[in-house]
Amino acid sequence: MFAVRAFVDRRSTPAYFHYGQTLQLLQARLNDLDQTPAISDSTIMVVITLAQAAEFTGDSAAVANHVEGLKNIVNLRGGVRALNTHNNMQVKVCRVDLEWALLSGHRPYFLGDDFSWDCFVANRDLIQCKHYPHDTTIHAFAETVMDGKLYNVLRDLHAFSCLSNFAYQTTRKLSPELYNETMISILYRLTHLSFESDPFQEALRSGLLAVSAAIFMQRQFMGQSYDHLLDLYDGALYRLREATAIDIPVSILFWLTMLSHVVAHKELAYEDWRHVWLDEAISHAGIGSWSQAREMLKSLVWIDFIHDQLGKKVFESAMMRRLGREPRVDV
């Protein structure tokens, strides 16, 4: 991790020295007539580290160069599926691929269309969770309105969030294999979908991408956001708000408007349209307490230990705004 340290803190002379040494070692391997070291697991890890370090400091050009180099090395190895599985090399390569896709807005490079569109978690009976009546309403709406591939992703993310909540409540741990495979399955599917002519489904897709980034991507836990992704979500939500003819179940609308606040890394003005829409959604849903709000949110995708702290604050602020907007009656 010396390369990461060098990028994050350029003032650190020892770290910068090791960063320079890392680049020299990489270049030497790439120039060697014997290409075995150049395409080894250790070389792949060096490129991954450099790409992640560049990403954390916002050097998009460097990230693009390192990802391009990673593509070439992995292709020489026979593709991502030919990489070792015992050391999670496939997962590490796919993670960098997905991080760059979320950062840049480009489609991921690896896997192509070589993945399943079927549910990965939801159909495995790993957990049984009920959120009546919200889940019944969501299912009926999805069956008639939503694209089947998108609905499968929603079902998987819902099941994963329920599993995560159960594991946290019982002090158990999810298996790393389940976590990594779920991340890859969900994010590759979402980044290969697009609904530009359908405001609702595009808002839902970008919302699921935003919440997935918050769950699976390391960048989120370092206080850094995917600005392109957040802009994409804001734009999709705004177009959905303008499309007034769409009748959306209150649980989904509340989740979409809450999520726009929970994943945002900036303060919104008091009269911002996202505040106004959230307040309207709360009123329309008849929600009077955080416990009611939380139960509705958990009928979609909501992981308590990730979302609760900020979510409760957002909800309580919305309730205060609603009180302030209610017309006063003179006595």
Confidence label for 261 from pLDDT (cuts 50, 70 and 90) = very high
Which residues in 93-162 belong to E strands, given as ranges? none
Reference 299, options 246, 225, 249; nearest CA is 249
Q: Contact 76/67 with Cβ under 8 angstroms?
A: no
- Give the residue with greater pLDDT, 30 vs 240: 240
How far apart (Å, rounded) are the C-alpha atoms in residues 137 and 159?
A: 17
Report CA 61 to chain centroid distance, whole Å. Answer: 22
Write out the H or E segment, with its range, that includes residue 16. helix 13-31
Encode pLDDT of 114-152 as tens digits: 789 999 999 998 888 889 899 999 999 999 999 999 999
Tell me the pTM: 0.86
Quick one: 331 exposed, middle or buried, by C-beta within 10 A (0-12, 13-18, 19+)? exposed
Interacting residues of 134 by C-beta distance below 8 A, sequence separation 6+:
249, 251, 295, 296, 299
For residue 108, cis peptide bond before it (omega within 30 degrees of 0):
no
Cα–Cα distance for residue pair 269/145, rounded to 1 Å = 34
pLDDT interval class at 328 (50, 70, 90): very low
